[in-house]
């Protein structure tokens, strides 16, 4: 195989980003683009050169030339599409989370395993140049044994009420990236989760049964402790920082900026705000994760972020949701036993 033929399902903002990256890759042919509202996207689609635009994703699954699909549709459609794609023997890239329902996730992952296809989950932060350097430092033993991992993840603005109502709540919509990053950086599974959450920004979150501010503590199997702090609105921009502290030292990364200029005057020292939001901050990471997926198919190698990574992050999210509601620490074992 010297070219991967792909269909993209879902043409929202993430679907558009992935499609445009794929179209720039010589080893890829984007043959299908599916979206229920594709007829309303002619201003964007007319110059893409994609042969087949459809409302029905099953059109691409029926095409024997299609090697893989990207699932960028709403979360409540993911497991249905994963199952259908696996049964059609198509490799799969799926945006996070796999689903909001562990039973559905487990069933879909079983189908993927039975058909022996690749499934990569869209945790793009693993491919960020900053976080990847932290990962490498920890893996190479430069800071010794990890003791504490600290993750700060704060959005510059929150979405509409309509989005909040269907997002799955902060643990599934936002913090799930941080759960995955915590596992990634410590190379250890989470044993216990405890969340303190509040509505401090806008009552719309309370109306939707959600929170906008949270601190999560994690206990890992290797004994390390994690701390994640989240906010839906940081006035100064998209705040994405990480530190891993260990027995021999620590490694930390700060925010990404459009430039490194620092202005020093008698009135003070200033610099620009961080990059505005995730589309800007992780633009290259989005591209790199898709390149990694394509290369895995071409080389017939295991993907870097697989279905189990998606499952583990979901388990943590379910434990976090229960911890928040019950106001107590919740073990991952407790969640697993309900689905054994």
Query: How high is the pLDDT of residue 335?
Result: 97
Q: Pairing state of beta strands 119-121 and 263-265?
A: unpaired
Query: How high is the pLDDT of residue 104?
Result: 97
Dihedral sign computed on CA atoms, order 125, 127, 129, 132: positive
pLDDT-derived band at 2 (thresholds 50, 70, 90) equals: confident
- Residue found by looking up tokens 């906008």 in the block: 212
Phi, psi of 275 (to 5 degrees): -50, 145
What's the pLDDT tens digit per position in 167-216?
999 999 999 999 999 999 999 999 999 999 999 999 999 999 999 999 99
Q: Pairing state of beta strands 119-121 and 146-154?
A: unpaired
Neighbours of 101 (CB within 10 A): 16
Percent of the chain residues topping a pLDDT of 90: 89
DSSP-derived secondary structure letter, 276: S
CA distance from start to end of the chain? 39
User: Which token pair is 31?
Assistant: 């043959």
Query: How high is the pLDDT of residue 275?
Result: 74
DSSP-derived secondary structure letter, 286: H
User: Which token pair is 89?
Assistant: 């023997």
Average pLDDT over residues 295-308: 97
User: Which token pair is 122?
Assistant: 């869209």
Helices (H), 46-101: 58-61, 78-87
Of 35, 1, 37, 2, nearest to 18 (Cα)? 35
pLDDT-derived band at 270 (thresholds 50, 70, 90) equals: confident
- Residue found by looking up tokens 């043409």 in the block: 11
- Tell me if 161 sits within 8 A of 207, measured CB to CB: yes
Q: Check whether 259 has a pLDDT greater than 80.
A: no
User: Which token pair is 120?
Assistant: 């990569």
Query: How high is the pLDDT of residue 154?
Result: 97
pLDDT-derived band at 1 (thresholds 50, 70, 90) equals: low
Sketch out the chain's domains with CATH numbers. 4-117 (3.40.50.720), 126-284+313-337 (3.30.360.10)
Query: How high is the pLDDT of residue 221?
Result: 97
What does the angle CA 160 – CA 282 – CA 238 come to, to the nearest 5 degrees?
55
Of 112, 108, 88, nearest to 7 (Cα)? 88
Average pLDDT over residues 283-301: 96
Q: Across the chain, how many H-helices and E-strands are there?
A: 14, 15
Q: CA torsion 86→90→94→99, rounded to 10°?
A: -10
Query: How high is the pLDDT of residue 281?
Result: 82
Q: Pairing state of beta strands 68-71 and 4-9?
A: parallel
Q: Pairing state of beta strands 225-231 and 146-154?
A: parallel
Neighbours of 334 (CB within 10 A): 14
DSSP-derived secondary structure letter, 159: -
What's the pLDDT tens digit per position in 309-323?
999 999 999 999 999
What's the pLDDT tens digit per position in 85-142?
999 999 999 999 999 999 999 999 999 999 999 999 999 999 999 999 999 999 999 9
- Tell me if 207 sits within 8 A of 248, measured CB to CB: no
CB contact set of 170 (below 8 Å; sequence gap of 6+)? 197, 210, 211, 212, 214, 230, 232
| CA 15 – CA 279 distance, rounded (Å) | 12
What's the pLDDT tens digit per position in 237-257?
999 999 999 999 999 999 888
């Amino acid at each position: 195989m010297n070219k991967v033929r792909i269909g993209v399902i879902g043409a929202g903002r993430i679907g558009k980003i992935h499609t445009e990256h794929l179209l720039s890759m010589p080893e890829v042919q984007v043959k299908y683009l599916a979206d229920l509202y594709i007829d309303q996207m002619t201003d964007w689609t007319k110059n893409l050169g994609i042969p087949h635009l459809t409302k029905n994703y099953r059109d691409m699954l029926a095409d024997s030339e299609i090697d893989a699909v990207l699932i960028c549709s709403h979360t409540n459609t993911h497991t249905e599409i994963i199952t259908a794609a696996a049964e059609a023997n198509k490799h799969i890239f799926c945006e996070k989370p796999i689903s909001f329902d562990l039973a559905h996730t487990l069933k879909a992952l079983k189908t993927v395993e039975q058909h022996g296809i690749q499934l990569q989950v869209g945790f793009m932060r693993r491919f960020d140049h900053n976080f990847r350097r932290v990962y490498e430092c920890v893996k190479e033993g430069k800071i010794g044994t990890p003791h504490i991992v600290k993750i700060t993840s704060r959005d510059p603005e929150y979405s509409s009420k309509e989005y909040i109502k269907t997002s799955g709540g902060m643990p599934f919509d936002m913090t799930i990236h941080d759960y995955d990053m915590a596992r990634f950086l410590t190379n250890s599974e989470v044993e216990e989760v405890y969340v303190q959450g509040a509505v401090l920004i806008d009552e719309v979150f309370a109306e939707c049964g959600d929170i906008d501010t949270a601190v999560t503590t994690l206990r890992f199997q290797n004994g390390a402790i994690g701390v994640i702090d989240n906010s839906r609105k940081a006035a100064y921009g998209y705040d994405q920082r990480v530190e891993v502290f260990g027995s021999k030292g620590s490694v930390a990364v700060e925010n990404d900026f459009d430039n490194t200029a620092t202005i020093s005057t008698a009135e003070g020292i200033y610099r620009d705000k961080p990059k505005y939001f995730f589309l800007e901050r992780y633009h290259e990471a989005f591209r790199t994760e898709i390149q990694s997926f394509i290369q895995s198919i071409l080389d017939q190698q295991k993907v870097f972020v697989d279905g189990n990574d998606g499952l583990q992050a979901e388990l943590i999210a379910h434990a976090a949701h229960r911890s928040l509601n019950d106001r107590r620490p919740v073990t991952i074992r407790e969640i697993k036993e309900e689905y054994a």
